[in-house]
Amino acid sequence: MQLIGVIVYKFKHKISIKKEIITAGFLILSFMSPLKSLAAAKISKIYVFGDSLSDAGNFYNVSKSYIPPSPPYYKGRLSNGKVWVEYLGDELGLSPTLFTDLKNSTPSEGINYAFAGSSSGLGNATVPKSLLPGVLGQVGLFTRYLRESNQQADPDALYIVWGGGNDYVFGGATDVTQTITNLSRSVALLALAGAKNIMVINLADLGKLPLTSNKPNSAQLTTLTQKHNTALAASLNTLSSIPGVNIIPVDINSLFIKLQTSPSQFGLTNVTDAYLLCNFEDILQGNVNICGSQSGNSDEYLFWDSIHPTTRVHNFVAQTALEALNEQPLSTYWYQESGNLQLVEQQLIPKNRVLAGQSFHTKVEN
């Protein structure tokens, strides 16, 4: 975390002595408009970096429409309907292009880089032999493109970072240090690239998933979730010191606690079991012929499968994120030392790993 502190210091120190000076290697932009909420302002685009909770079809595309099997999954989402970033996009009037669709369309409203199974770092936790990018790898692809095309990140866009759960559930991580470092570096890279509005989301209790509850590691996963969320909040507090950058924390853990302790308030009747009765390993293999489902309405369930929420709960997540936007004021000042981007990117993301995700026709090995 030392490098993150250095980045924050450099932003704060240099802005204090060069507010009115433009010299080689420095770019200073001032915005003098009155403060208003981000949701009230016009968000120009949405960029998403994450895992299956935010993946609207990238993994499905690279698996050649094989995983997740659709139906019973909804059009390549690991749920029975839209995922939360799509609901948020509906509210903001934006539909980000999938990273795997970039060759077929122009991303005028942003890009969704999220892949199911992504770790917080460079690779994929559920298919580690693949070259699919993790959260930090996804951010690296984005910032490298900006640098190589001599561009900066759109200051009016919303950038979303949500990951880490796969590190603990599938990656076997028993300490939160590396995961928090990866997420913090992702945020720092985005800020250095020119991003102003960066939303970062914490984790719901990983020990209370249908996959993990009442299992030997359930208590450990609950403890890891608590440590992760505490460390992430501390890191975001440090990163929020970067002048002009809006760090927008979203507390999904509290939302899930409410869902699980007061389900009737949200129209839910089952917050412990999966609606889709299927072994998750079978799902990863695309084998759902042996799967069944619970009786009743899936909209009354918190979980669609043993890990992922139903689309109704995804909508609750989107509303929670929208509330966070409504509470967040816009900055009036942005400072960017553009010359540092390449140096910091090289320090944070090894070149040989970033280029692995540059082709989205990556083979997924099982």
Tens of pLDDT along the chain (366 residues) come to 555 555 555 555 444 433 333 333 332 232 333 344 555 567 999 999 999 999 999 999 999 888 888 888 999 999 999 999 999 999 999 999 999 999 887 889 999 999 999 999 999 998 888 899 999 999 999 999 999 999 999 999 999 999 999 999 999 999 999 999 999 999 999 999 999 999 999 999 999 999 999 899 999 999 999 999 999 999 999 998 888 899 999 999 999 999 999 999 999 999 999 999 877 666 666 565 656 677 789 999 999 999 999 999 999 999 999 999 988 765 544 334 444 445 444 555 544 444 333 433 333 333
Closest CA to 269 of 313, 226, 229: 313
Rg of the Cα trace of the chain? Answer: 20
| Distance (Å) of CA 205 to CA 168, 208, 210, 228 | 11, 6, 11, 10
The predicted model scores a pTM of: 0.82
| Distance (Å) of CA 50 to CA 12, 26, 161, 250, 289 | 29, 31, 6, 14, 29
197-248 pLDDT, tens digit per residue, is: 999 999 999 999 999 998 999 999 999 999 999 999 999 999 988 888 999 9
> Could you tell me the domains of the chain?
2-350 (3.40.50.1110)
Token look-up 């502190």 returns 5
Query: What is the pairing mode between strands 197-201 and 246-250?
Result: parallel
Element (H or E) spanning 178, and its range?
helix 177-193
52-105 pLDDT, tens digit per residue, is: 999 999 999 999 888 888 888 999 999 999 999 999 999 999 999 999 999 887
Q: Are 365 and 127 in contact (CB under 8 A)?
A: yes
Type of residue numbered 257: I
